[in-house]
Amino acid sequence: MNLQHHKNLITENGFTVIDKIFSDEEIEKISEVIQNIDTSKETFRKSEDLFAIRQFLKEIPEVKKLIFNENLKTIIKEIFGEKYFVVKSIYFDKPEKSNWYVAYHQDLTISVDKKLEIEDFGPWTTKQNQFAVQPPLNILENIFTIRIHLDDTDENNGALKIVPKSHAKGIYRPQTIDWNSETETICNVEKGGIMIMKPLLLHGSNRTTNGRKRRVIHIEFSDMELPEELNWSERMKPI
């Protein structure tokens, strides 16, 4: 596992894929924990098209030691840095019949514990009693996202499509993409593999066409403190 190579790819292209971070047995254990949870809480969203758990690591603490195995802890330390901590975690399950299409976008908000009037923070949104805000660009540029794949994912079941290098262009409105100069890449990830990406990387996904599910654990990391009285809503050290 040449982590310096992956670190260079993230800096240059905004993303990288690393296979075989979790064994089949580890994925099975994580899946079992998720299957046995009480899904009635308000941080859980369940419909025919999607099952999602916000504040995933907070809601299901017993999954934490399974997710932060030695491979993942090494990656966080070597690629991100010693001081990085979790700031957001979500579990997504796109069921077999789900035909979701996600348009190109950047991840422009962070989850925080309260709403405050702070210069350069905004606009604000509230979802299921959670506050989200668009912070200044330097905070977004500091974040790394890890997407852990519990299933094989390719272009037939909604793998992420991305625009390489778009993370380095600041806020980039999808409608202004110049396809004469930009290219699209599909990020196939094997079960047990991870994709690491920068939130400002333009990304989206197509509809599923092969009737296979796609379960992903999405975890964001930062090493920055927020100003004034504002706190990350899910701040947590990797084990």
For residue 172, give both structure tokens: 């980039």
For residue 99, give both structure tokens: 């035909």
pLDDT (tens, 9 = 90+) of the chain, 239 residues, equals: 799 999 999 999 999 999 999 999 999 999 999 988 877 777 677 665 568 888 999 999 999 999 999 999 999 999 999 999 999 999 988 766 666 688 999 999 999 999 999 999 999 999 777 899 999 999 999 999 999 999 999 988 889 999 999 999 999 988 988 899 999 999 999 999 999 999 999 999 988 888 788 899 999 999 999 998 999 999 999 87
Torsion of CA 65, 67, 71, 74, to 10 degrees: -70
Give how far Cα 41 sits from Cα of 45, 59, 60, 85, 165, Å. 8, 9, 11, 25, 38
| Structure letter (DSSP) for residue 225 | P
Q: What is the value of pTM for the model shown?
A: 0.95
User: Which residues have C-beta within 8 Å of that of residue 223, sequence separation ≥ 6?
Assistant: 80, 81, 83, 84, 85, 142
The number of angstroms, rounded, from the C-alpha of 99 to the middle of its chain's C-alpha atoms is 20
Please say whether the beta carbons of 148 and 21 come within 8 A: yes
Neighbours of 17 (CB within 10 A): 19
Mind listing the pLDDT tens digit for each residue in 60-112? Answer: 999 999 999 999 999 999 999 999 999 999 998 876 666 668 899 999 999 99
For residue 64, give both structure tokens: 């934490």
Please say whether the beta carbons of 30 and 115 come within 8 A: no
Q: Domains plus CATH for the chain?
A: 3-222 (2.60.120.620)
For residue 191, give both structure tokens: 């079960």
